[in-house]
Amino acid sequence: MATQFSGSGSGGGPNRFVIFSEVMFDPYAWDRFDPPDKEGFVTYSHQSGHPSSTIKITRSDGKVLSFEVSGDYSVQIRENVIRFFGTAGEPSGGHFH
């Protein structure tokens, strides 16, 4: 199941934090920005010039969230934690199968 997420949100930073065992990006569609931010998170960004792509996040319990990204969107990763913008009103654990 793919879910479309927008890359912007009110209130500042990402609103979902997930402990993961694997994150898979479509090759060549994402850029990595170094150095890490002051909290140690590295930003991976999908730019609007790239075709739409998919990101797949496998949680530590084996459940998977896969969603399509188009336009400007970014996620941040530190060790085994990923943070990103989720859908407003979505319950904790929403869309993981």
Reading the chain (97 residues) residue by residue, the pLDDT tens digits are 333 334 444 446 678 888 999 999 988 889 999 899 999 999 999 988 888 999 999 998 999 988 888 889 899 999 999 998 876 666 666 667 6
pLDDT of residue 27: 84
pLDDT of residue 93: 65
pLDDT of residue 94: 66
Per domain, the residue ranges of the chain are 21-84
The model's pTM: 0.76
Burial letters 39-65, b for 16+ CB under 10 A, else e: eebeebbbeeebeebebebbbeeeeeb
pLDDT of residue 4: 37
Cα angle, residue 25 at apex, residues 91 and 12 outer, rounded to 5°: 50
pLDDT of residue 92: 66
